[in-house]
Every structure is written in C-alpha cells, then in structure tokens.
Amino acid sequence: MEERKEKIDLKSSIRDIPHFPKHGVIFKDITTLLNDNRCFRYAVSEMVEHFKDERIDKVVSAESRGFIFGSVIAHKLHAGFVPLRKPGKLPHETIREEYETEYSKDAFEIHRDAIKEGENVLIVDDLLATGGTMEAATKLVERLGGNIVGIAILIELGFLKGRDRLTKYEVFTLVNYEEEE
Amino acid sequence: MEERKEKIDLKSSIRDIPHFPKHGVIFKDITTLLNDNRCFRYAVSEMVEHFKDERIDKVVSAESRGFIFGSVIAHKLHAGFVPLRKPGKLPHETIREEYETEYSKDAFEIHRDAIKEGENVLIVDDLLATGGTMEAATKLVERLGGNIVGIAILIELGFLKGRDRLTKYEVFTLVNYEEEE
C-alpha cells in the first residue's frame, strides 16, 4: 500500500453542527474531513485495508455523499462503481426500494443491469444512522443477485442502533459515536 | 503511474438514452462506464495525467454525479475534496451562486471556509453541456479567493458551446460529442 500508516484521529476532523437539519440534532459534518487531504486519504486507506483481501466486483453507494467514498474505494479496489439514486434520476431500467431515515421517507433506485448474478459487492456510505438507507441498499443488491461481501461506513451513530438491522453482514465503521452528545 | 497505458474507447462505454430527461434529448448515461472497472480507471488516469504536474490543493465538484470523478481525482492528486451542493444541504456558513442548465434554474452552495485565499483548485465534473453549472462553480471558487488551475470533465457536448463561457480557464475534456446525434 502506498498510504502512510501514521494513525490519525478522524473524529477531531469531523465538525459538529448543532440543530441541523432540525432542532435537537447534532449533525456530523464530514466536509472538514474531506477538506484535509491527510484525513481523507487516511479514512480511504483504512476502509480499503479492511477489504483488500476480498475479491470485490462492484462497489455500491447511494447519492449524494455516499458517492464520495464509494467511488474512491471502487477505484482503489479495482471494482466497478454502481450508484444508487433517488427516483427518476437513473435513465435506464431500474428497480426500487423505499426506506425511512431519521427525518424522511424516500426511495432509492438501481439500474437492473448494474450487478450480475453472483458478483461480489461492497456497499460504502458515509453515515450509518437508523440503518434505513443501508437496509434498502442491501435489498437492492440482493434482488439483483449480488453477494454482499461487506459494508464500509465512515461514521456510525451507535446510539441509533442501525447495526441491528444489518446483522447478516460484516459492517466495518471507522468512527463510532456511542452516545448522543 | 500505476495505470495501464492501453488506449480505451470511452465513447463505446457510454450509453445513449433517447428522450431522457425530456423528449428530443439524448442523455449520455455514464453508469455503464463506471460499471466497467477498466473504463473507470482509464478515465480517471487520463484526467490525473493531464494535471499531475500542477500543485492542486483542492478539487471542487458539484453534486451528485460530479462527486464520483471529483473525489477520486482529489484522492489521486493528494488534494482535499470540496463539495458544491444544492441549497440547504451544507450545514455550515455558505455562499451561493444561481445557474441555468438545459432543463432548469437552480443554485449551488459552497462552505465559506472550504477554500483558502490563493489555494490552487481543480474543478471536476462528469458533463459540460451549456456551461451554466460550471460557470457557477468557477464563480464560487473565485469568490473565496481560489486560483483555478483547470477544469477536468469526462463528457463535453460540444454542440452546446459550454466551453465559450469558460475561455479564461484550461478546460480538459475526455469525450467530445461535436454534433447532436
């Protein structure tokens, strides 16, 4: 690996935004982490390191922030990149899963030809909160016959117990907030 | 560079979708390119190769599809990654620019602290159409004091003349459609 091995405290590069997007919520702003090339590289290398011995055919990520880590990890693992998008954004034939987040009800679509039966898939996202979006992502991948090798996520809001909805999978997270601060 | 040098015809990996998102338009679907690891890597390496001798502090890209190439290029050039987002998505203090596309009127925001005065910036996107979004991106970067080293784009719809709005900058595009097909 070309990456430096020096340990970096990623939590200190994530900015707390109180009362965003609504009152009483502390939003974890990763733009400060992405802005610092050392932190960004370190986070990517830790995710890649964890899954580097697996054969990964496709990396799947949901718009918009998920694309940021998903595409880099796909590139580094020599995998294809598959975007999950909000309804109406993907132009070819899709399948859809609805989900609920902390704040809203929505859906993701995936191109029906994006994953072939039996391909090994890594799902990547920036945030695991209640697990609603991630659960939708796993359903979409499995409906297309993909084999989910694991899930790599930058930030886990442990107190929201999203991991409990994903017990079938290996869920690797880099930064965990065990308690609501 | 670790990349293979074999030339790949990227155009053949881009899928034409007639009448999307509206009648009479041929949408260029890059999900087929991203899905093929060889094509994705080749496109990234061509963009990186073109700007590798410049010092790039920040790579700036607009949501959502722009993030896919922007984050990989930032990572490969050892730069920080700066997202441009639709209004209300960035949680800290922002500045805003409105723009028009082929289909709509909208705006992008950037965090005010995302670029420091005098930093070298590369703007990355997947598509240059009328140039409206790219012009907004250049204005945001320059309002923050960034020095635009260049613009790297996967697909140029040459017949829409977006390049004419960006004559101050070096605009590097990988796949050019000179005529509406």
**Given a cut of 70, is residue B102 above it in pLDDT?**
no
Q: How far apart are alpha carbons A126 and A128 in whole angstroms?
A: 7
- For residue B104, the enclosing domain spans 54-176
Closest Cα partner for A79 from A59, A61, A63? A59
> Inter-chain contact B82–A31, Cβ cutoff 8 Å?
yes
pLDDT tier for residue B5 given thresholds of 50, 70 and 90: low
pLDDT tier for residue B4 given thresholds of 50, 70 and 90: low
Is B27 inside any structural domain? Answer: no
| Per-residue model confidence (pLDDT) at position A49 | 98
Distances (CA, A) of A131 to A101, A127, A162: 8, 9, 4
| Per-residue model confidence (pLDDT) at position A57 | 98
Is B20 inside any structural domain? Answer: no
Q: Which residues contact B18 (CB under 8 A, 6 or more apart)?
A: B26, B27
Identify from A57, A60, A61, A71 which residue to disrupt to test chain B contact, counting B C-beta atoms within 10 A and taking the largest count. Answer: A71
Is B45 inside any structural domain? Answer: no
Q: Cα B151–B152–B155 angle (5° rounding)?
A: 125
Residues 104-123 of B with CB under 8 A from A: 111, 114
| Per-residue model confidence (pLDDT) at position A93 | 98
A130 with A101: CB under 8 angstroms?
yes
Alpha helices in chain A (DSSP H): 31-35, 37-51, 66-76, 132-143
| Per-residue model confidence (pLDDT) at position B181 | 66
Kind plus residue range of the DSSP H or E element containing A86: none
**Given a cut of 80, is residue B165 above it in pLDDT?**
yes
Q: Chain B residue with minimal CA distance to A31? A: B82
pLDDT tier for residue B103 given thresholds of 50, 70 and 90: confident
A127 with A28: CB under 8 angstroms?
yes
Average pLDDT over residues B120-141: 97
| Per-residue model confidence (pLDDT) at position A100 | 85
Identify from B48, B60, B81 which residue to disrupt to test chain A contact, counting A C-beta atoms within 10 A and taking the largest count. Answer: B81
Q: Is B3 on the interface with A (CB under 8 A)?
A: no
Q: How far apart are alpha carbons B14 and B28 in whole angstroms?
A: 6
Is A31 inside any structural domain? Answer: no
Q: Chain B partners of A114 at a C-beta cutoff of 8 Å?
A: 31, 35
Distance from CA of A170 to the nearest CA of B (A): 23
Q: How far apart are alpha carbons B44 and A75 in whole angstroms?
A: 9
Is B33 inside any structural domain? Answer: no
> Inter-chain contact A15–B41, Cβ cutoff 8 Å?
no
| Per-residue model confidence (pLDDT) at position B179 | 85
Cα distance between the two ends of chain A = 36
Instruction: Please provide the average confidence, as pLDDT, over all residues in chain B.
Output: 95
Q: Collect the ranges in chain A with pLDDT lower than 50.
A: 1
Q: How many structural domains compose chain B?
A: 1
Kind plus residue range of the DSSP H or E element containing B178: none
Q: Chain A residue with minimal CA distance to B22? A: A91
pTM for the full model? 0.96
| Per-residue model confidence (pLDDT) at position A96 | 98
| Per-residue model confidence (pLDDT) at position A101 | 73
B111 with B140: CB under 8 angstroms?
no
A34 with A69: CB under 8 angstroms?
no
| Per-residue model confidence (pLDDT) at position A104 | 78
Hey, is B103 helix, strand or coil? Answer: coil
Is A154 inside any structural domain? Answer: yes
Average pLDDT over residues B70-76: 98
Is B32 inside any structural domain? Answer: no
B86 with B66: CB under 8 angstroms?
no
> Inter-chain contact A35–B114, Cβ cutoff 8 Å?
yes
| Per-residue model confidence (pLDDT) at position A178 | 92
Q: What is the CATH number of the domain that holds B90?
A: 3.40.50.2020
> Inter-chain contact B75–A78, Cβ cutoff 8 Å?
no
Alpha carbons within 13 A on the beta-carbon side of B150: 18
Q: Chain B residue with minimal CA distance to A78? A: B37
* Strand A58-62 versus strand A80-84 pairing type: parallel
Structure tokens that stand for B18 in this block: 């007639």
Residue whose tokens read 């990234």: B44
pLDDT tier for residue B90 given thresholds of 50, 70 and 90: very high
B128 with B163: CB under 8 angstroms?
yes
> Inter-chain contact B37–A63, Cβ cutoff 8 Å?
no
Structure tokens that stand for B148 in this block: 């635009």
pLDDT digits (tens, 9 = 90+) for B8-18: 999 999 999 99
Q: Which of A41, A49, A63, A65 is catalytic?
A: A65
Is A118 inside any structural domain? Answer: yes
